Structures are given as C-alpha cells and as structure tokens.
Structure 1
C-alpha cells in the first residue's frame, strides 16, 4: 500500500468529515420535519429494530454516544412510548432497549421512508455507483481496522 503525503490524508479526512456533517444536517432537518424526532433518535430506533433488542452498552457503541448519553436518549424514547426497557429476571443489571409497537409504527410510517429518501437525495444523488461501492469498501475497511465491524449490526433490510 502506498503512502500519500500527510497533507493528502488530512485533506481526505477533512473532506469526508465535513461532507458527512453537511449530509447529516440536511437529513436531520428532513427527519425532524416528517417524523418529529431527531436523527439520533431515528438511528436508535433503526438500530434497535435491526437487532431486535440491544443492550444499552451495544446501543452506545453503535451510535458512538457515551453511556450516559444513551441513557438520556433511551429515556426520551421511553417517554414517547417508542422504546421499552427490559431486564431479564435472572440478571437485573442487564438492560435491553426494545421497540414498542408505537416505535415500530414511527419507523414504518414516517422515519424509515423519509430517512431512505433523504439519504438518497442528500447523499447518494451526488455520487456515482462506483463512488458508493468505493465508500462502502472504505467504510468497512475503517470499521474493521478499529474493531467495529460486525456484519449483523450493519445489516440492511
């Protein structure tokens, strides 16, 4: 593997970071307008849905949010009736976040379609098929390099 100049790596990092931030802002606006929830709340609902249930620590890791931040996030979702906390009777220290019927309805009726459409319009529309394939490959490579790749967690429908 050839090594580029340090400035090349820094520029690539800055472009990707700023590009993702710009797309995130546009997608967030759309999700808030359509679903009445933040992008982070939608991402939490989606991740819980994709995994059936998640430990709070797993959700924290998937969302790159501190454990206390995930606790506050899940509390907001519980108050809205979209998520429930479940504890196995044999281990009260373990807490799972699980979607409620209302949470599934939010995802199915509003958030998921708006999320998919906004990602298509705000992210994918600016890229070729080759660009998307390259980004998937590079994203996975970065996740693997940092011990964050888990195929079941990154599954799509």
Structure 2
C-alpha cells in the first residue's frame, strides 16, 4: 500500500472517530443532559469492581489529563453521580465511586449510546466488519499504550 493511501485511511479514521463522538455527544446532551466524557466515566465506573476507580485510572481510561479528570469529577460530584474520597492506605490517591443516581444516569446514557451505535455502526457494518474493526482497534490501542480497554 502506498503512503498516500495510508494517509487517506489515517484521515478517514480520524474523521470517523470525530463524527461518532460528536454525534454521541449531541444525542447525550439533548436526551439525557450529559456530555460524552461524563457518560464515558459513568460507563467505566458502572463496569468497574465496586463501581470505583482511582482518579488516575479514570483519567487513563478516558485518555484525559489529571487536571481534566479533576474538572470532570468535580462536575459529576456536583450532579450527585459520584462520590470522591481519599484512599485510606494512601491519602495521595483519590477514588471516585458511582452513586445510585450515577447508576441511573449511566443507564440512561447507555440507552442513548446503544441507539446511536445501532444507527451509526450496526446499520452500516456486518458482523464480520465489526469483528475486524474490533481487532484493528485493539491493535491500534495496544500500540499507543492502552492495554485494558474492556474494563
């Protein structure tokens, strides 16, 4: 494959990711009043052991800076979706835990995200396409240091 062809794939990949994120963000804002980042952190917490993550774990999963994660956590704490506490064994570690209201918000966001996925991905890709895309995305994420995208 020529360099120019790879350039086009690179640009298309960026455009597809930006389009999907923008569309999801718009739908989440309109339908359940949350941003895409808020939904993502709620989703990761809903699927974490004890519905808790350290702030650094949450930031890594969202590919976000520590200060960006702090601002995001501040917003969702104010909304009552998470509680933040300090680790008893190491006071330098902050932990966020999903509340019951956060579970409900995560569920609401998931319903919007699932509908968006069905309309924007499932309607356009076969099962084989999705399987291949999953393998490719895993390879790409592994190359840039993200090893645990499933939890």
TM-score range, shorter chain: over 0.9
Q: How does 1:8-157 map to 2 (within 5 A)?
A: 8-51=5-48, 52-108=51-107, 110-150=108-148, 153-155=149-151
User: 1:89, CA displacement in angstroms?
Assistant: 2.2
Aligned length: 149
How far the C-alpha of 1:146 sits from its partner, in A, is 2.4
Find the aligned partners of 1:9 and 1:60 in 2 and give their Cα distance.
30
CA distance in 1, matches of 2:142, 2:22: 27
Structure 2 length as normaliser, TM-score? 0.92
- Structure 1 residue 147: Cα displacement: 2.6
Distance in 1 of aligned mates of 2:47 and 2:85: 17
Query: TM-score, length-normalised on structure 1?
Result: 0.89
In structure 2, the gaps of 5 or more residues are: none
- Structure 1 unaligned regions, length at least 5: none
CA distance in structure 2 between the partners assigned to 1:42 and 1:90 by the alignment:
29
> C-alpha distance in 2, partners of 1:141/1:85?
33
